[in-house]
Chains A and B, each alone.
Chain A
Amino acid sequence: MMKLEGAVKKFGNFTALDGVDLSIPKGTAFGLLGSNGAGKSTILRLFSGIYKQEAGTVLIDDEPVFDNVAAKQKVFFINDETIQFGGYTLLELKKFYKQFYPSFSEEIFQKLQSAIQLPLNKKISKFSKGMKRQAIVIVGLACCTPYLLLDEAFDGLDPTMRIIVKKMVVDAMCERELTVVISSHNLKEINEMCDTAALLHKGKIVFNRELDSFKGSVHKIQAVFADRERVFTREDFKDVPEILHFSRTESIYHIIAKGDEATIRKALAPYQPIVADLIPLSLEEIFIYELEVLGYDSKVFD
């Protein structure tokens, strides 16, 4: 299990993580969502032992990570850049990482390499972007670490490449109890690959839940009430569990609210809705509306 307990990380005066608690059980495909600068990459770098937290603890299998060889050997971190590998060939890169990860599997490497047919002796700097990403993912998977951290790992890949890389990761997850932590802005990707996700904003976790529980947990409601003369306000719907968004166009009310359909319908019933359409929100819409509540929305340009 990967665990953050009250983790604080500061960069000068800027607090990147402000007392974050997070647990990622083994075998989980965990997605880190969040606005730019929310602290997603910082969490990954804390888990990979690159950064040292100012306060709190960062544990992998109950061991602190920073400066701990044993803990770090359980983690392979792939960041959003590939330029650092440019001077190596795939073979050299394999040899480089093989030295540091005793669990390195030559078999997995051969299997993935031959499946994708990446050249072994060509400088990685001469690979296309997708090939570079594939190369490092191959090496990362071949290291056979229990934890794989991917920071914006699919950025800039064409759909086919994206599928190939994803498939490699998913196959590894299926074959062994690999824990994958993916940080991405692409909610669709998280939606497709992860079973759990956390949303971060300004160094704090907004929510941390299984993705399935998201589905149907937030609804978009379009309603017209019988008393058209009356102007309803947000405060009128106290029985609706949590309203994220409330607006009105003529007599049509647009409400984004947390809660299952039955609860919401029950809460609206006293106001005699003539029309009440409830549509479950996609993950992307949830992301947008959750952050809007926290004051992070596109209205700043209005």
Chain B
Amino acid sequence: MTAKSLINPLAVRNLGCAVKENKKLMIVISILHLLGIPMGSVVILVQFWLDSLQQDGYYYSGYVDLAGYMVIACCCLGAALLIGMIAATGVFQELWKKTRVDMIYSLPMTGSQRFASHYLAGTVVYVLPYLIACVLGWLILITGGFVLDFEAMDTTRSFYFEILFKYYTIGTIGAFLLMMLYYTTTVLFTVCCGTLFESIYTTLLLNCLVPGTFAAVLAVICDNVTGLSFEYLWHPIGYTSPAGGLIYLLYLTSGGDLYSYSYHDLTASQATTHGMIPAFIRWSLVMVLLIAAVLVLAWHLYRKRRAEAIGKPYVYLLAYYIMLTLLTVLILTLFAVGMNGAAILFAAVVYLIMEVVRKRGFRKFWLSAVSFACTVAITIGLFALVNATKAFGSVYRIPAAAAVTSVRLEFTDMPAASVELEYTDKEIIRQVQELHRDIVADMKEYDDIRTPIDQLMEEMDYRILRYDNYDYYGEYVVNQAGAYGYSELDPETMSDDMKMMYYDYWYEDDLIYADSPRFEEYYQYAETEWLDITYYTVTGSTVHRSLNINMDQYCKLLNIVYGTELYAQMYADFLYDNLGNTLSEYNEDGTRKLDPAGEMTLENLEVSRTIHFLCTEELLERLRDAYYSDLLELDPAATGGVYAMWRECPIWNNCTATIAILEEEMGMEPFDAVEIIGIADLDNNEHEFYTNGSYMEVIQDTLDIRIYTPETVRFASKSGVGIAGHQPYVKSHAAAYTDRYHSPGSTAMREVYPELYKLLNAAVRHEITENSYMIVVNGTWWTVPQEYAEAVIAKGSGYAEEQYWDQLTEDYEWQYRSGEDEYYDDIIIEDSAVFAAQ
């Protein structure tokens, strides 16, 4: 078929006729579009104008809320877009309306000409009003850009136009492609069906099912296969359907975070590397190809389709069986893959009902039952295959170094900032791959479970169980402990007596795993960090892995990134840009005008100190350069601990040049004299407060502090300690002792805090040395140089358990008895004698 034969005058005439026949629909769509984009544009401009009036100090009566108009505009736009289905079925009436068959098919046209003219007619009816509305929107917004008084607003004209061109272009082109995909898929499904009912419901269902099933299956696979991350693998959903495409577009235009439309964090500068515009162009190209593929398929099927097929629910059963299979897989996936009887039953009911609807009765019902059984078996089989082969080996796959153009690392840096760094340096890539191989080797050894912990637990010979008991009046009675074989505590096999105790009195958190040949390995992995590695390859593809790493691997990671230019540059630029921005006003051309009255608040644990200085661009640049140099020299094994934090930027004690500028030129006083800020909040039952990047959860006047001696550090586990309540207690079975005490109320805490601050100031979380003490404050961990810990322990011993208990009992005994506050049921009182012995 040539283009000439398609652009036959008869086909063009038929196009005109089809448009005329659907002119009422086109008018409705046009009205909706005019109420959509152009009205939305007007609302945006009016809002800008009102804001400028307000900021200019003018008074206008009352608060004008234009959000309602915006909602109407969005609803109209949404309705206009959804009408694509009516447009598609409207122009292809010969596919579902029996009375039109003879009239349309007998016209002197070939099947291809008929298809082309009808397809284009639908496009004109559906898309032309949208394009006109887009042009109108452009005109309104561009005119507004020249008319609005930007001097009276927070923004600048150039920023306005930048945002306008960037987002409006992406939005309008993206929406156009989504409309075309939606319309073309509807045409395809209309060709596949012989009735209007089937056309509509197949279109609706498949538009939801394709992305829905994709997401559900991917989520299940990522949940079961170590290293695969839904967060990084879901992007193809943007090509699955118009709805999926819309989600992806929202993700792109929101700066890569669907949950927030701001990305003012450390990642902002990095996010642009693989940013919105290239991603959008890539997406658009794929969408164009996808639309073309769907169109060619629809055309081919249309030509093959016979006039007499009208009235059959499904002319091409492939579409129906794809829909049915996706629905079954989705149900099985959502409930629990395969083995859940309820899921299979529910899926069977849905499957068989759809079969009865399609066949308009129970004809060959047994065949439907067999096909359902096959679908379920294949689904379960495929899931099992993916799990067994670790997603066909992709979990272990590390791309060849030569093929990697860059590698992006995402992890939590010591100050608890989520950091993204992308390296192109071949040496760094080699080191990352070496680390990755180390992690993969561990994964293989531990059979790929998400963390080796689970497997190690399985292999433990015993679970040591401890639980807390209270008498009728809520009085604490005694710790009970016992050693049980693993199988004894397996809910599947345990005796009824054990079961009763297990469920009535014991808690999973109370189960301690010990006495295993792999016991030490368990604790090696008890403290884990996460690391996301993304390789960008020469072919443009990406390989992403989300990994759990142990502390050794974490230290290796820090050794790779600390001291790199990128790492230093990232923090230095963040400090310079953000500090400068907070102290600036913007000129119309977008440049910033520094306020000489500089102010900066630095924090150390919960203590903050605001300094005032004469702010100049030169000072900020020197501060940036000093910080950059310091970080470039940073040795992860000897940071000297945190001196202070400015937002997410850690200023380490070894950042001597930076500290010199802060102290000598900007008036910073060291944190030697500890200020306690926040105790007042604690008195008001504030439940959390912040330290350097982490937060501690405080349960109403209760501070859970645990100190582990160097001998016991290896038994310490992040997952094993949390907030007060049902904590693991390892003293008797770890062949070492652990000391801890609960500070008794806010008064005692006031006294303990200064020492605690000193201790935490000196602490470095990731430096684990043989002689390190570990301190855990309400579940947050620090490694402490030995000399500090000794001092604190000596000081802290004054707050022994009895003192705390006395006060607790006095204040809250009635609450125990009445059971009003569950918190107190959870508080554990440990044997203070152990602490005293220290």
Q: Using CB atoms and an 8 Å cutoff, list the residues of chain A in contact with chain B.
A: 11, 45, 48-52, 67-70, 72-73, 75-77, 79, 81, 83-85, 87, 96, 99-101
Contact = CB atoms under 8 A, between A and B. Distances in A.
B308 A11 contact: yes
Contacts of B105: 48-50
A271 to B, nearest CB: 53
A84 B103 CA distance: 7
Interface string B596-632: 0000000000000000000000000000000000000
Interface stretch (B107-115, B313-321, B487-495, B770-778): B107-115
Interface string B1-43: 0000000101001101100010000000000000000000000
B341 to A, nearest CB: 39
A76 B8 CA distance: 20
5 cross-chain pairs, A with B, having the tightest CB-CB distances, nearest first:
A72-B108, A99-B13, A50-B105, A73-B108, A48-B106
Interface stretch (B94-102, B281-289, B442-450, B672-680): B94-102
Nearest to A10: B308
A85 B106 CA distance: 14
Contacts of B8: 69
A100 B16 CA distance: 12
B125 to A, nearest CB: 16
A69 B113 CA distance: 10
18 contacts: A11-B308, A45-B106, A48-B106, A49-B105, A49-B108, A50-B307, A67-B110, A69-B10, A69-B109, A72-B106, A81-B99, A81-B102, A84-B99, A84-B100, A87-B21, A99-B17, A100-B13, A101-B108
Nearest to A54: B306
Nearest to B97: A84
Contacts of B308: 11, 51
Contacts of B106: 45, 48-50, 72, 75-77
B109 A96 contact: no
Interface of B: 8, 10, 13-14, 16-17, 21, 99-103, 105-111, 113, 306-308
A48 to B, nearest CB: 4
Contacts, number: 61
Nearest to A92: B20
Given A11-B308, A69-B108, 20 more contacts: A45-B106, A48-B102, A48-B105, A50-B101, A50-B105, A50-B106, A51-B306, A52-B306, A69-B10, A72-B109, A75-B106, A81-B102, A87-B21, A96-B17, A99-B10, A99-B13, A100-B10, A100-B13, A100-B107, A101-B108
B19 to A, nearest CB: 13
Tell which of A51, A73, A99 has the most Cβ of chain B within 10 Å. Answer: A99
Nearest to B20: A92
A84 B102 contact: yes
B450 to A, nearest CB: 54
A75 B107 CA distance: 9
Contact of B108 (A45, A51, A83, A100): A100
A148 to B, nearest CB: 12
B109 A50 contact: no
Contacts of A99: 10, 13-14, 16-17
A75 B14 CA distance: 18
A228 B346 CA distance: 81
Contacts of A96: 17
B21 A50 contact: no
Contacts of B110: 67-69
Contact of B102 (A45, A52, A68, A101): A45
A68 B103 CA distance: 16
Nearest to A52: B306
A45 B307 contact: yes
Contacts of B307: 45, 50-51
Contacts of B10: 69, 99-100
A121 B21 CA distance: 16
Nearest to A98: B13
A182 to B, nearest CB: 16
A11 B307 CA distance: 11
A96 B103 CA distance: 11
A84 to B, nearest CB: 4
A86 to B, nearest CB: 9
A84 B17 CA distance: 14
Contacts of B101: 50
Nearest to A71: B108
A11 B312 CA distance: 12
B108 A77 contact: no
B111 A67 contact: yes
Nearest to A77: B106
Contacts of B111: 67
A72 B308 CA distance: 18
A84 B102 CA distance: 9
Nearest to B105: A50
B13 A77 contact: no
A128 B163 CA distance: 62
B22 to A, nearest CB: 11
Contacts of A68: 110
A177 B347 CA distance: 65
B833 to A, nearest CB: 90
Contacts of B108: 49, 69-70, 72-73, 100-101
B102 A50 contact: yes
Contacts of A83: 99
Contacts of B100: 84
Nearest to B11: A69
Contacts of B113: 69
Tell which of A69, A73, A77 has the most Cβ of chain B within 10 Å. Answer: A69
Nearest to B10: A100
B90 to A, nearest CB: 12
A69 B106 CA distance: 10
B93 to A, nearest CB: 9
A167 B13 CA distance: 32
Nearest to B103: A84
Contacts of A51: 306-308
Nearest to B111: A67
Contacts of B103: 84-85
